[in-house]
Each structure stands twice: as structure tokens, then as C-alpha cells.
Amino acid sequence: MRQKHFQVKAVKAVAPCKLIVTFGDDAVMDVDMTPLIRRNVVFAPLQELSLFLKAYLNQWGTGVVWIEDELDIAGDNLRAEAVEQAGGISHERIWEWMHRNKLTLDAAAEALGISRRMLAYYRNGEKTIPRHLWLACLGWERFTAEGYNEEFKNAA
């Protein structure tokens, strides 16, 4: 993970289950770990406040660690969670949409009517994903899944 915006410069754990994370691009974001702790058994030990408060940066600045080689989270996952919690669309949604629909970068860009380069920026978290673009992803998926693809192409 080389992207500056996924590097973690600083982390502060505060009660209950909240991290204040400073990323390599100097963005400071709050991450409520409660949803992750509830939906991922791996994070269950973080319910114990004394452990949660021990959060620290790994030696490369690519993530946050609680127990070395056992319990950690990568910077890109932290950033995605922070973006989603703030009401934005994380880069992971684009990855998941492309994977779910077996789309290459070229095919996905064509489906959305944007350049390959712009889609790469969104997919890699380098640019904020506009809500209308995410809605276009969902719309494309719905039309394709329901067999409207040919009708959609003919209308365009």
C-alpha cells in the first residue's frame, strides 16, 4: 500500500471503540469501530476497553495494531470505514461492484460513461466518489441483472 491517503501517520484510541486517525495526506478522520467489532468475530476482543485503548501504528505506518501479528486493521480499510461513516462512498464499493459484475477497469468505465483514468482514481481512493456515480453503478447493475441491458443500449 503506497498511496499516501492510506498511510496512517497517527492514531488515538478513545472510549468507547473510537479511533481518531491521521492519514498520510493529513486528513484526520474519526472511525467508530463498533460496527466492525459487531460484524467481524476477529475484532470481538476489542470490546474490552483496556485492549482497545492500546491501539498503535504498525512499524510501516500502513495500519493500526492491537496485538502484534494477531489483531490489526489496514489503513485502506480504516479510511473506507471513516468515509462511509461520514456519509460518503468508499473506494471499496467500486471494487466490490466491479468484482460482483466481473468488470474490467475498461468495461466499468465504459458502462459508467467516464474515462478509465477517472475510474481508477475513484477505485484507488485518490478522488472522492460522487454520489451520482455510485447511483449510476447501482442503476447499471439493476438494468443489467434484469435484462434491460439491450433496451438501455438502444435508448442511449
pTM above 0.75, yes or no: yes
For the segment 18-58, what is each residue's pLDDT rounded down to a tens digit? 999 999 999 999 999 999 999 999 999 999 999 999 999 99
- The reply to whether 44 and 77 lie within a common domain is yes
Q: Both 95 and 149 in a single domain?
A: yes
Question: Could you say which of 35, 70, 85 is where a domain stops?
Answer: 85
pLDDT at 144: 86
Give me the amino acid identity at 40: N
Task: Tell me: pLDDT of 120 over 90.
Answer: yes
Please answer whether residues 10 and 26 qualify as being in contact, where contact means their C-beta atoms are separated by less than 8 angstroms: no
Q: Alpha carbon of 30 to those of 69, 74, 144: distances in Å? A: 24, 15, 37
Helices 131-145 and 105-112: angle between axes, nearest 10 degrees? 100
Rounded Cα distance, 86 and 29, in Å: 9
pLDDT of residue 3: 83
Does 8 share its domain with 81? yes
Q: How many domains is the chain partitioned into structurally?
A: 2
> Range of 100's domain?
91-155
Mark whether 126 and 70 lie in a shared domain.
no
Query: Is the domain of 78 the same as that of 96?
Result: no
DSSP output for 75-138: HHHHHHHHHHHTT---HHHHHHHHHHTT--HHHHHHHHTS-HHHHHHHHTTSSPPPHHHHHHHH
Question: Do 95 and 76 fall within a single domain?
Answer: no
Q: Given strand 8-14, what is the order of strands in its sheet?
A: 8-14, 18-23, 28-32
Q: Which helix (H) or strand (E) holds 36?
A: helix 34-39
* Between 49 and 154, residue with greater pLDDT: 49
What angle is formed at CA 114 by the lines to CA 111 and CA 118, rounded to 5 degrees? 125
What percentage of the chain has pLDDT greater than the value 90? Answer: 87
Q: What is the CATH number of the domain that holds 62?
A: 3.30.2020.10
